[in-house]
Structure 1
Amino acid sequence: MSFELHPQLAKDTTVLGHFPLCIALLSKDSAVPWVILVPKRENLKELHHLPMQEQQQFLLESQAVSQALEATFQPDKLNLGALGNMVPQLHIHHIARFKDDIAWPGPVWGNTKGEQRDEAEQQALATRLANVLSLSNLFQRG
């Protein structure tokens, strides 16, 4: 079997690029900068189901995303989460949070207006983040 991105993730995000293990996606939700890492493995629901070497690779990729969000936006806090209740495919959210964002201090899930960025704004943000992620020798655009 080959890797296929869950249709809901494809609908709600823009592809930033690829790491060796994960595809990096930018959420279209306009509330906050929000990157999602999805390991490119079929039928994967839990991070601990990956072999240890791939779990370690995930941590390297997660660190690159976290550092990019921090350098680009200087958030008050970074939230990481893997719920998977609606989309079972393993995907880990990396969310830049600000004391003045719509959901602060609560979680973003269910606490935003659900508004999406327009296409031009989404592409500009995707380019900006991909440029920063490209500084990592792990990341490839597209």
Structure 2
Amino acid sequence: MINFELDERLAADTFPIADLPLSRALLMNDARYPWVILVPRHASISEVFELSADDQQQLWREATQLGDAMKTALGGDKVNIASLGNVVSQLHVHVVLRHHGDATWPAPVWGNGSPEPYDLDGQAQLRDQLLALIHGLNV
């Protein structure tokens, strides 16, 4: 985890929440969805297979436990977990809580519609909820 630097685009599009054992958790600045991005704190990693086997398992643990906690606490219908990297090559995993009838349901969130930035109160409220969920994880 030496020399970790967050990609400029991720930094511009998100708000920091907390650090998990492996990943930095970021809130995507799109109020249409509860959307967290997990970025393993490793320098120059773009693919999951570049992580050690232990770190691969840890990343999956963090993503699935966070997704479960978000679905339970925030009442979603489906959790989308994905690692794309076509625009931002730095390894990152999206954990997106979806609701039937949300802005792009059932299509993917990527490339559909325009993001709706959070106002300060909405961002702070969801960030605090997510922070509490993260502190309750057993990762």
Residue identity matched to 2:112: N
Q: Deviations over 1:44-64 (max 9, x none)?
A: 000111010111111211122
Task: Give the alignment of 1:1-142 within 5 angstroms.
Answer: 2-138=3-139
CA distance in 1, matches of 2:122, 2:86: 29
Q: Deviations over 1:13-37 (max 9, x none)?
A: 1111011110001111111100110
CA distance in 2, matches of 1:14, 1:72: 20
8 Å contact 1:79–1:93 — kept in the other structure?
yes
Identity among equivalent pairs (%) = 38
Give unpaired runs (5+ residues) of structure 1: none
Q: CA RMSD of the aligned region, Å? A: 1.2
8 Å contact 2:37–2:94 — kept in the other structure?
yes
8 Å contact 1:72–1:129 — kept in the other structure?
no
Displacement of 1:69 = 1.0
TM-score normalized by the length of structure 1: 0.92
Structure 1 stretches of 4+ with a deviation exceeding 6 A read: none
CA distance in 2, matches of 1:129, 1:17: 9
Residue identity matched to 1:54: D
CA distance in 2, matches of 1:30, 1:94: 14
SS of the aligned residue for 1:2 comes to: coil
8 Å contact 2:66–2:137 — kept in the other structure?
no
CA distance in 1, matches of 2:137, 2:99: 25
CA distance in 2, matches of 1:134, 1:114: 28
Q: Deviations over 1:77-111 (max 9, x none)?
A: 11111111111101110000111101001001111
Give unpaired runs (5+ residues) of structure 2: none
CA distance in 1, matches of 2:38, 2:47: 13
